[in-house]
């Protein structure tokens, strides 16, 4: 049982839809991340939040909009996506933002844009 829960597990959406991905952790971590995993490509960091403040936006298109209302919850709002945005979207958390901590990942949301 992972300490990071992502919902939904699967999502199919049209290019004109608006949807949101949810991530929740109760590990007491202060940093949360969104990653994108596409087939045959390395994981791509999208956004970093540390103590609820966004500290990194890795040149992500504005059709992806993150929200972090508190240290336990992270959302990724999606609108007017393209078929190439189809991928596995992973949420992770760590004690603090940085590379001296292990990251705990959720199981991901498999997104298909049609």
Q: Residues interacting with other proteins, by CB under 8 A?
A: 2, 4, 6, 40-43, 45, 48, 56, 90, 92, 97-100, 102-108
Identify which of residues 80 and 88 has a Cβ nearer to other proteins in the complex: 88
Identify which of residues 64 and 105 has a Cβ nearer to other proteins in the complex: 105
- For residue 4, give the H/E element and its range: strand 4-7
CB of 42 to other proteins, least distance (A): 4
| CB-based contact 8:20 (threshold 8 Å) | no
CA dihedral 59, 63, 64, 65 (to 10 degrees): 100
Q: Rounded to an integer, what distance in angstroms lies between the CA atom of residue 54 and that of residue 42?
A: 23
Identify which of residues 17 and 24 has a Cβ nearer to other proteins in the complex: 24
Identify which of residues 83 and 99 has a Cβ nearer to other proteins in the complex: 99
CB of 105 to other proteins, least distance (A): 3
CB of 20 to other proteins, least distance (A): 19
CA proximity to 15, closest of 84, 100, 74 = 84
CB of 92 to other proteins, least distance (A): 8
| CB-based contact 55:68 (threshold 8 Å) | no
């Amino acid at each position: 049982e992972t300490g990071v829960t992502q919902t939904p597990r699967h999502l199919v959406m049209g290019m004109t839809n608006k949807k949101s991905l949810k991530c929740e952790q109760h590990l007491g971590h202060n940093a949360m991340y969104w990653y994108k995993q596409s087939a045959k490509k390395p994981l791509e960091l999208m956004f970093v939040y540390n103590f609820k403040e966004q500290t990194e936006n890795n040149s992500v298109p504005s059709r992806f909009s993150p929200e972090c209302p508190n240290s336990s919850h992270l959302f990724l709002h999606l609108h007017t996506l393209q078929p190439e945005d189809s991928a596995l979207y992973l949420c992770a958390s760590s004690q603090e933002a940085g590379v001296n901590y292990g990251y705990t990942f959720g199981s991901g949301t498999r997104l298909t844009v049609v």
